[in-house]
Structure formats: C-alpha cells, structure tokens
C-alpha cells in the first residue's frame, strides 16, 4: 500500500516551527514498530513545498528552508495539505495564486489544514465559509472582522470542521499533527510519537488551550478518559461525584476510588485544578472581568475564584493577570 503524501506549504516570511514541527511529527511514524497499531501502518511521505517558484524560503527568523518542490509542480495525489503561518497576513502578495490552486485541487485532497494565520489563506479562498475555525489569538479579531461567515472559536488549540482543520499559534501545529496521526493510526502510535519528542498528547478535537496540567496523558480507561474529556467541556456545570459517576455508569464510591487511582487526584480536586487552568487562559489572554471569568470557568463567584487561586497558587487572579497578562 502506498504511503500517504503530506504536503506542508512554506510561504515567504513563514514561521519555521509551523513547517518543521508538523514535519517532525509525521516523520516519526516511520520509527514506530508496525505492530503498535491494529491499523495498516503504511506511513507518510513528507514533502515541504514552496508557495512560490523559488525553492529557497527565508523564514521570519532568517532560517532558510530548502523546499523539495514548488507546490504548483506537484503531480502526485495529496492526502493532507498543511498551510503554515507567516508573519503578517496583510502583506503577502502570493494569496491569489495559492488560492486559485486550492480551488482547483481541494476536491482531491482528503484533509486541508492551516497552522496559525495560515487560516487566512483558507478564509480568503472560501474554505471556511459557514465553518468553525481558529487561529492565533492575536489575529482572531481580524478573522472575525474580515470574514463574518466564519464561526471563530476563541480558545481551541485546533478545530476540525469536515475535512478542514485550523489551529492556533505555531506550537499548535504540532498538536494538530499528533491528532492527525491519531486519526490515521490510533492513539497508541500518537502517544509514542509525543513521548519520543518529549511532548504532551492533547485529546482530539477542539480542546481549550489549557496548560501542561490539562495536556498530560489522559486515563487509559475509556470510561474515565471520556469523563475527563466531558469535564473539560462542561466546567460551568454542577460536577459532583454523583453526576460524574452516573455518566461513567459506576457507583459514586467506585468511581471516586478508580478516578483517584487513575489520575492521582480526587474528582473534586481535579475539577478545581481544571477550573484554575481554564481561568488562567482568560486572565492571560483577555480583558474579561473577574465575575465573567468566574462564571465561565465554573467558580460561580469571583470571590470563590480568588480563594481557590490563593489556595493553589498563592496569588490572587488580579495578581496573576498583572504578572502574566498580555498587556
């Protein structure tokens, strides 16, 4: 069986990590023993393609990437196309040719992806119309303002909508690539790659941009893992042990015992920590009020959030924002 062709598109002034990160993830598949996955492990052919006629692409950092081909010279069937980001989406004049090529070829490509502000290429080509999408947080408002037919998701690391995948800042391209490998060859393969690259494997789908605590390996027990994922998506709700146990089809006592054994924290402590990590994102990246953040993250009141922060971090939310906020 032939290998899947992964094409990673490099544009002038691109971010090197957008190109190199995904390439390294897909490249690691060849090092995984074939019997690791129950699925056929044909692996990938990886091609770094220039979005211009020039094969030498100078990145934003000055690093020069030597591309194997110009995108427009590729004749083989592309399985997955990944468009890397570049330093300023307003200044690149290569949009028209790239978008024209995408419109001609998109129906033959199984997955079309973007990293960082590569999403603007997909948006300009109409590939995100009526879809959910994300991009680097600095450019989310630009995406919303420029394309009001796109549902821009503020916090996900990456978003899948049909065959189109968009991801946030540069390192999110690595997370997306791990998720694509997991789609193709299963979680065990993706976990081995993450471990070999000293990375954390995030769950598939639109996971919030949580910190390392939330991106640690999920439980190997499916019912506990599913509960962990459900908790992440329902932090605003009442998450008592009875509710969680019912979802796991377990008794409350057995659920609490198994959860503690698997995760190393009681359900209550785990949820509290998730709420802390979720609120840290709001404090770092937004100007939302303390009351709003407390409600969104499930604390109920800003005073409860303040006490929880002091207990876990020895900092108040206000002090945390002052230290780590973007302003």
The pLDDT tens digits of the residues spanning 271-311 come to 998 899 888 888 877 888 999 999 999 999 999 999 999 99
Q: Which residues of 172-190 are buried (b: 16+ CB within 10 A; e: fewer)?
A: bbbbbbbbbbbebbebebb
Residue, of 210 and 253, whose pLDDT is higher: 253
3-class DSSP assignment, residue 321: helix
What residue has token string 């950092």? 61
Please check whether residues 51 and 174 belong to one and the same domain: yes
Residue ranges with strand state E in 143-265: 151-152, 158-161, 164-167
Please check whether residues 64 and 17 belong to one and the same domain: yes
Residue 104, number of CB atoms within 10 A of its CB: 9
Chain segment 74-107, per-residue pLDDT in tens? 999 999 999 998 776 555 566 788 999 999 999 9
Please check whether residues 178 and 83 belong to one and the same domain: yes
Is residue 204 situated within a structural domain? Answer: no
Is residue 270 situated within a structural domain? Answer: yes
Is residue 152 situated within a structural domain? Answer: yes
- Phi, psi angles (nearest 5°) of residue 169: -60, 170
CB of 25 closer than 8 Å to CB of 44:
no
Please check whether residues 239 and 322 belong to one and the same domain: yes
Residue 149, number of CB atoms within 10 A of its CB: 10
Q: Which pLDDT does position 92 carry in this prediction?
A: 56
Please check whether residues 49 and 145 belong to one and the same domain: yes
Q: Of 20, 39, 18, 42, which Cα lies nearest the Cα of 29? A: 42
Residue 303: which domain range? 218-327
Q: Which pLDDT does position 35 carry in this prediction?
A: 75
What DSSP string runs through 64-111? EEE-SEEGGG--SPPSEEEEPPBS-TTS-TTHHHHHHHHHHHGGG-SE
Question: Which stretch of DSSP H or E encloses residue 170?
Answer: none
Instruction: Identify the band that residue 212 occupies on the pLDDT scale cut at 50, 70 and 90.
Output: very low
Please check whether residues 184 and 224 belong to one and the same domain: no
Q: What is the CATH number of the domain that holds 31?
A: 3.40.50.880
CA 91 to chain CA centroid, nearest Å: 25
Among the listed ranges 91-100, 128-137, 230-239, 300-309, which one has the minimum average pLDDT value?
91-100
- Phi, psi angles (nearest 5°) of residue 136: -55, 140
Compute the average pLDDT of residues 22-47.
84
On the CB side of 188, CA atoms within 13 Å amount to: 9
Among the listed ranges 2-6, 87-91, 144-148, 217-221, which one has the minimum average pLDDT value?
217-221
Q: Is the pTM of this model over 0.75?
A: no
Q: Which pLDDT does position 233 carry in this prediction?
A: 80
* Count of the separate structural domains present in the chain: 2
Q: Of 136, 170, 190, which closes a domain?
A: 190
Helix axes 302-313, 267-285, angle to 10 degrees: 100
Q: Which pLDDT does position 93 carry in this prediction?
A: 60
Q: Which pLDDT does position 210 carry in this prediction?
A: 45
Please check whether residues 174 and 292 belong to one and the same domain: no
Q: Which pLDDT does position 73 carry in this prediction?
A: 95
CB of 214 closer than 8 Å to CB of 175:
no
Among the listed ranges 20-24, 179-183, 245-249, 262-266, which one has the minimum average pLDDT value?
262-266
């Amino acid at each position: 069986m032939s290998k899947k062709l992964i094409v990673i598109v490099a544009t002038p002034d691109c971010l090197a990590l957008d190109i190199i990160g995904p390439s390294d993830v897909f490249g690691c598949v060849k090092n995984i023993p074939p019997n690791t996955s129950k699925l056929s492990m044909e692996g990938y052919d990886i091609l770094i393609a220039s979005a211009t006629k020039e094969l030498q692409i100078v990145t934003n950092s000055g690093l020069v990437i030597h591309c194997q081909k110009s995108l427009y010279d590729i004749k083989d069937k592309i399985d997955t196309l990944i468009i890397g980001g570049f330093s300023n989406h307003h200044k690149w004049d290569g949009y028209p040719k790239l978008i024209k090529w995408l419109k001609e070829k998109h129906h033959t490509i199984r997955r079309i992806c973007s990293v960082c502000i590569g999403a603007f290429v997909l948006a300009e080509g109409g590939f995100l119309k009526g879809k959910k999408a994300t991009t680097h947080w600095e450019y989310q408002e630009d995406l919303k303002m420029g394309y009001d037919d796109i549902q821009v998701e503020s916090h996900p690391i990456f978003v899948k909508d049909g065959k189109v995948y968009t991801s946030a800042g540069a390192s999110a391209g690595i997370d997306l690539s791990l998720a694509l490998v997991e789609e193709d060859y299963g979680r065990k393969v993706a976990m081995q790659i993450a471990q070999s690259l000293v990375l954390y494997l995030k769950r598939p789908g639109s996971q919030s941009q949580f910190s390392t605590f939330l991106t640690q390996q999920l439980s190997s027990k499916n019912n506990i893992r599913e509960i962990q994922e459900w908790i992440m998506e329902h932090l605003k709700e009442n998450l008592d042990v009875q509710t969680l146990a019912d979802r796991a089809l377990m008794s409350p006592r057995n659920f609490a015992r198994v959860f503690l054994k698997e995760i190393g924290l009681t359900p209550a402590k785990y949820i509290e920590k998730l709420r802390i990590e979720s609120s840290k994102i709001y404090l770092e990246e937004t100007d939302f009020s303390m009351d709003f953040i407390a409600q969104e993250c499930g604390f109920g009141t800003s005073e409860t959030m303040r006490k929880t922060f002091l207990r876990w971090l020895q900092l108040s939310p206000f002090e945390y924002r002052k230290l780590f906020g973007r302003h």
